[in-house]
Structure 1
């Protein structure tokens, strides 16, 4: 008869059980929150850059695949 050996790491994981709903939300916030924050910062900066480009007289702001047209000189 062979003894069934359980890895101690699995034993601890089984012992802890399922996460509490608050813990699940915190885990999701820690996992995806930084990416959502980064997306918000990028969107805000693009809006500010577009507004500055319009104020400077550039009709089409630069994007990653298209450079800004040359600036007009008064």
Structure 2
């Protein structure tokens, strides 16, 4: 194999072998270290947003009870 036939093979190998000769658990560990923080960040953002929205809705409900009128974002 030489010449033009070798080019597609050489272009396909780097994505497969860019981690080198790692065992399966080593590849898993590398992927966890690389992408794990982003997964954790996504979970934290999701939980904090849910908590903030719940607090905001509770505050709006309490405000509507006190004033007797609709809270922010509510219709008559």
TM-score by length of structure 2 reads 0.54
Higher RCO, 1 vs 2 (CA within 8 Å, ≥6 residues apart): 1
Structure having the higher helix fraction is 2
Query: Quick check: 1:42 aligned with 2:45?
Result: yes
5+ long unaligned stretches in structure 2:
1-19, 68-76
C-alpha separation between the residues in 1 aligned to 2:60 and 2:50? 16
| Structure 1 gap segments, 5+ residues each | 1-16, 59-70
Can you list the C-alpha shifts for 1:3-48, whole angstroms capped at 9, x where unaligned?
xxxxxxxxxxxxxx51000000000000000010001000000000
Q: Flag as ranges the 4+ runs of structure 1 deviating above 2 A.
A: 71-74
The alignment's C-alpha RMSD in Å is 1.9
Aligned pairs (5 A) from 1:1-74 = 18-57=21-60, 74=67
